[in-house]
Chain A
Amino acid sequence: MDFLSPEEWSAVGLSLRVSFWATLLSLPPGIAVAMLLARGNFPGKQLLNGIVHLPLILPPVVTGYLLLLTFGRRAPVGSFLHDAFGLVFAFRWTGAALAAGIMAFPLMVRAIRLAIEAVDPKLEQAAGTLGASRVMVFATVTLPLILPGVIAGAILAFAKAMGEFGATITFVSNIPGETQTLPSAIYAFLQVPGGETSAFRLVLVSIVVAMTALLASEWVGRAVARRIAGA
Chain B
Amino acid sequence: MSLDVSLRHAFPGFTLDARFEAPAGVTALFGRSGSGKTTVVNALAGLLAVDHGHARINGTVLFDTETGARIPPHRRRIGYVFQEGRLFPHLTVRQNLSYGRWFAGSRVRAADGDAFARLIALLGIEALLDRRPGTLSGGEKQRVAIGRALLSFPRLLLMDEPLAALDEARKAEILPFLERLAHETEVPILYVSHSVAEVARLATTVVALENGQVVRTGTPVEVLSDPRAVPTLGIRDAGAVIRARVLRHHADGLSELETAAGPLFLPQVAAAVGTWVRVRIHAQDVILSRTAPVGLSALNILSVEVAALRMGEGPGVVVQLRAGEERLLARITRRSAEALALAPGLACHAILKSVAVAQGDVWIEGRDD
Contact = CB atoms under 8 A, between A and B. Distances in A.
Contact of B135 (A120, A131, A137, A230): A230
Interface size classification for chain B: 20 to 34
A130 B84 CA distance: 16
Interface string B149-171: 10010000000000000000000
Contacts of A76: none
Interface stretch (B97-105, B204-212, B248-256): B97-105
A131 B104 contact: yes
A62 interface: no
A179 B332 CA distance: 92
A134 B72 CA distance: 10
Interface string A123-154: 10111111111101100110011000000000
Contacts of B82: 122, 126
A144 B103 contact: no
B74 A132 contact: yes
A228 B90 contact: yes
Nearest to A125: B47
B73 interface: yes
A127 B77 contact: no
Contacts of A207: none
A129 B80 contact: yes
A197 to B, nearest CB: 50
Interface string A29-41: 0000000000000
A12 to B, nearest CB: 37
23 contacts: A122-B86, A123-B88, A126-B80, A126-B86, A128-B74, A129-B45, A129-B46, A129-B73, A129-B80, A130-B99, A130-B103, A130-B152, A131-B103, A133-B72, A136-B74, A136-B103, A141-B88, A145-B89, A229-B132, A230-B131, A230-B135, A231-B132, A231-B135
Interface of A: 120, 122-123, 125-134, 136-137, 140-141, 144-145, 227-231
